[in-house]
With several copies, the nearest count.
Chain A
């Protein structure tokens, strides 16, 4: 929030003439209703946009853009700012033509139109989606100085759609069915194998995102939502579900989205996004101003359920204080925390640490490196350290 205010510390603003004067917009009429039948943000917020890191990928067509977490409040990511990850660009799917085919080890294969899908019982869930490569550039050292680029491959929305279990019941699974292959209608024909236990648990075939139709960037007209699991499994532009007895070992679950360990072995099927948190204010884009009372605010989430607690340290992890959580605290959803901090104007090392309902405590980068080396790319859920300088500026650092 506050694109126009980004990076400006309180007090640093030019003193306004208002009051005592009245601004022009108080002395005149503005445009009426339906001036914008579908509304857009204020032009003063034009800096609040998804952004990419040009040097990261060969082409924007198979690339990533990052949510501007530094500007966001609450837990809902507005649809226009939800992060993007495409492997063959964003197809322009005609929902009248689009179909979902369900087949394989089933009694009754079907082809569903989008209208068919909307006739089935639906559910809504607020869930985060995080790319497992979020922060993956930082395994070897501190590189980027930006909350947006370091952590912005996570977003959160209210998803509505049909439970995959409802669909599997409708087609009648055969007992040998142990896996589900999900395939997209994009140029990558993106595929992932989902084990049946997860498929029957909380996976949905979603057609809505924060109330309205899915955005094209998030899979319009339908996508898989696989709560708590790595983003790539949430297959977008979904066109096919096949039930089988074995996993398919597709490119995105062998060459990619497997985690290389220091000894040269690799882990596959590491689906869950383990608990993570980050301080969103202050951050490199939102520095401090004068010394005084601040709210250290941030986001925490866990692919294993609810956030139980978040602790904050201002001395690089030597001492911690529990930060109150904001309602609502939902399973596999972003959760806000905030802790008041009287900044004395001296340099400080800010960290947050989430504990989820399984009791898991967010690890340090040190610990992750010790366990996995520095080449696993994915699943870097380490504690983030922000160095606050005496001038209020905030820097991404890694501790010894």
Chain B
């Protein structure tokens, strides 16, 4: 069947497409007009973001950290943040614009998103304090960890024979047990809303 064979649906107007087509790519495709500076971003951040992510992006409770963690990725407790982990700056604009502030998604203006993006990048020492984000500058921002991603799945990374008997050299022993750790909510009775006993 060729395109339009079923003939269902309406043809969208340019305006309709533009309104929903909000995605941004690393090459900058999708970035709108407008701009925002680190300073302007600080105001946005303090008003709309700091209550959850902390004054300097250090996180609050279980709300995500947005900064810090540089050099921890190979450590025992890595901290994955925008500075330490994120490969593309475009993702920051895209995600803040579509999903933040958490309680009011898509409520910021494009200028506000540019500004707070600039501010969060600055919090992570990725751009200077005089940085102004716009559709030309943002795609050029180099993210510190961008070189450390492999975008081809190397799995299966484990090849096993299907051994059926005498499969282990040493005797089997228990190394760790969940018993007594007291981390498991109840799986009987009504929903366990409370803290761990």
A interface residue numbers (CB < 8 A to B): 6-7, 10, 15, 19-22, 26-29, 34, 37, 46-47, 49, 51-55, 57-59, 61-62, 68, 70, 87-88, 101, 103, 106-113, 116-117, 119-120, 141-146, 148-149, 169-172, 181, 183, 187-189, 191, 239-240, 242, 244, 246, 248-251, 254-255, 258, 260, 262-272, 274, 284-285, 292-293, 309, 311, 315-321, 349, 355, 358, 360-363, 367-368, 371-372, 375, 379, 387, 395-400
Complex Cα gap A132–B22 (Å): 26
Q: Given known contacts A29-B103, A239-B20, A264-B148, what 5 new A-B pairs fall within 8 Å (CB)? A: A103-B12, A142-B176, A170-B4, A264-B78, A265-B149
The residue of chain A having its C-beta at the shortest distance from the C-beta of B185 within the complex is A53
Q: Decide if B168 touches A317 in the complex (CB within 8 Å).
A: yes
Q: Decide if B105 touches A28 in the complex (CB within 8 Å).
A: yes
List A contacts of B90 (CB < 8 A): 249
Complex Cα gap A49–B105 (Å): 30
The residue of chain B having its C-beta at the shortest distance from the C-beta of A374 within the complex is B76
Q: Say yes or no: A367-B158 contact (C-beta < 8 A), given A250-B91, A266-B148.
A: yes
| Closest chain B CB from A265 CB (angstroms) | 5
Q: Decide if B160 touches A361 in the complex (CB within 8 Å).
A: yes
Q: Decide if B62 touches A111 in the complex (CB within 8 Å).
A: no
Q: In B33-71, which residues have CB < 8 Å from any A CB?
A: 61-63
List A contacts of B80 (CB < 8 A): 255, 260
| Closest chain A CB from B18 CB (angstroms) | 7
Can you identify 29 A-B contacts, CB atoms within 8 angstroms? A20-B19, A28-B103, A29-B103, A34-B191, A51-B187, A58-B61, A110-B8, A116-B8, A142-B181, A144-B183, A148-B187, A149-B185, A170-B3, A170-B4, A170-B5, A170-B8, A191-B98, A255-B86, A264-B74, A265-B150, A269-B152, A284-B178, A317-B167, A321-B164, A349-B172, A367-B160, A397-B179, A398-B176, A400-B173
Q: Say yes or no: A27-B78 contact (C-beta < 8 A), given A108-B4, A143-B178, A189-B22.
A: no
Q: Decide if B150 touches A267 in the complex (CB within 8 Å).
A: yes
The residue of chain A having its C-beta at the shortest distance from the C-beta of B59 within the complex is A58
Complex Cα gap A61–B154 (Å): 33
List B contacts of A116 (CB < 8 A): 8-9
Candidates B85, B149, B168; contact of A267 at CB < 8 Å: B149
| Closest chain B CB from A288 CB (angstroms) | 13
List A contacts of B102 (CB < 8 A): 29, 61-62, 88
Q: Decide if B178 touches A318 in the complex (CB within 8 Å).
A: no
Complex Cα gap A105–B11 (Å): 15
| Closest chain B CB from A196 CB (angstroms) | 16
Complex Cα gap A199–B187 (Å): 38
Q: Contact flags (1/0) for B149-187 with A, using CB distance below 8 Å?
A: 111111111111111111110101111111101011101
Complex Cα gap A112–B12 (Å): 10
Q: Say yes or no: A10-B8 contact (C-beta < 8 A), given A19-B16, A20-B20.
A: yes
Complex Cα gap A116–B94 (Å): 30
Q: Decide if B25 touches A246 in the complex (CB within 8 Å).
A: yes
Complex Cα gap A387–B179 (Å): 10
| Closest chain B CB from A64 CB (angstroms) | 13
The residue of chain B having its C-beta at the shortest distance from the C-beta of A65 within the complex is B191
Candidates B22, B61, B99, B166; contact of A188 at CB < 8 Å: B99
List B contacts of A108 (CB < 8 A): 3-4, 11
Q: Decide if A55 touches B196 in the complex (CB within 8 Å).
A: yes
List B contacts of A316 (CB < 8 A): 168, 172
Q: Decide if B191 touches A399 in the complex (CB within 8 Å).
A: no
List B contacts of A309 (CB < 8 A): 162
List A contacts of B20 (CB < 8 A): 19-20, 22, 101, 183, 239-240
Candidates A52, A240, A265, A292; contact of B7 at CB < 8 Å: A292
List A contacts of B107 (CB < 8 A): 27
Q: Decide if B164 touches A319 in the complex (CB within 8 Å).
A: yes
Complex Cα gap A255–B96 (Å): 13
Q: Is B197 an interface residue (CB 8 A)?
A: no
Closest 8 CB pairs of A and B: A172-B3, A20-B19, A316-B172, A264-B74, A58-B62, A264-B73, A110-B9, A361-B160
List B contacts of A143 (CB < 8 A): 178, 181, 183
Q: Say yes or no: A51-B192 contact (C-beta < 8 A), given A22-B106, A249-B90, A320-B167.
A: yes
Candidates B104, B105, B172; contact of A318 at CB < 8 Å: B172
List A contacts of B158 (CB < 8 A): 363, 367-368, 371
Q: Decide if A272 touches B153 in the complex (CB within 8 Å).
A: yes
Q: Say yes or no: A88-B105 contact (C-beta < 8 A), given A258-B149, A266-B148, A267-B153.
A: yes
Complex Cα gap A117–B8 (Å): 8
Q: Say yes or no: A170-B6 contact (C-beta < 8 A), given A68-B187, A103-B21, A361-B161.
A: yes
Q: Decide if A87 touches B172 in the complex (CB within 8 Å).
A: no
Q: Decide if B87 touches A254 in the complex (CB within 8 Å).
A: yes
Candidates B13, B174, B190, B195; contact of A397 at CB < 8 Å: B174
